[in-house]
């Protein structure tokens, strides 16, 4: 598009100003922006130290255990109590041996601690830490 003197002619990417048949070119457009090259970004994140205590599984014997209540590492105190399984086993043995008059063997589960439920207690605060039953 051509216009007479004093007009701006826009032709695509650049513009020309014509003043009385004298052509004045504007400067070339600035080079495209390139972001400055930065070094590796170092961000300071807080270091979190987390202590993980692995508890050993409870067994029928006392174990070292960390109490949830007093947060002490203790050697558990174990009480052996009769559970429902102990009564069922005693009833089964008694019923099975009743015909030969040795049903007194049904008392065996009440006498052997392997047939009872082991309850682990903290010796400091007497909190129940967990139970274990072999049967």
Tokens representing 49 are 């130290």
C-alpha dist (Å) from residue 124 to 70, 73, 105, 113, 131? 8, 10, 38, 24, 18
Min dist CB 62 to Zn ion, Å, is 14
Which positions ≥6 away from 72 have C-beta within 8 Å? 66, 122, 124
Stretch that binds Zn ion, among 23-31, 41-49, 93-101, 122-130 (CB under 5 A): 122-130
**Nearer Cβ to Zn ion (58/122):** 122
Segment 49 to 88, residues that bind Zn ion, using CB under 5 A? 67, 69-70
Ramachandran sector of residue 43 (left: φ over 0; alpha: ψ -120 to 50; beta: rest): beta
Here's the x/- map for Zn ion, 10-49, by CB under 5 A: it reads as: ----------------------------------------
Chain positions contacting Zn ion, by CB under 5 A: 67, 69-70, 122, 124-125
């Amino acid at each position: 598009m051509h216009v007479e003197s004093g007009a701006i002619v826009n032709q695509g990417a650049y513009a020309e100003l014509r003043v009385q048949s004298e052509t004045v070119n504007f400067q070339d457009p600035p080079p495209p922006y390139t972001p400055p090259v930065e070094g590796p970004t170092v961000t300071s994140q807080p270091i979190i130290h987390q202590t993980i205590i692995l508890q050993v599984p409870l067994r029928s014997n006392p174990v070292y255990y960390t109490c949830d209540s007093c947060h002490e590492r203790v050697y558990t105190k174990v009480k052996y109590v009769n559970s429902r399984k102990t009564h069922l086993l005693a009833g089964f043995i008694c019923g099975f041996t009743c015909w030969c008059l040795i049903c007194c063997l049904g008392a065996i589960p009440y006498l052997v601690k392997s047939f009872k439920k082991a309850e682990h207690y903290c010796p400091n605060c007497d909190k129940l830490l967990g139970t274990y039953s072999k049967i």
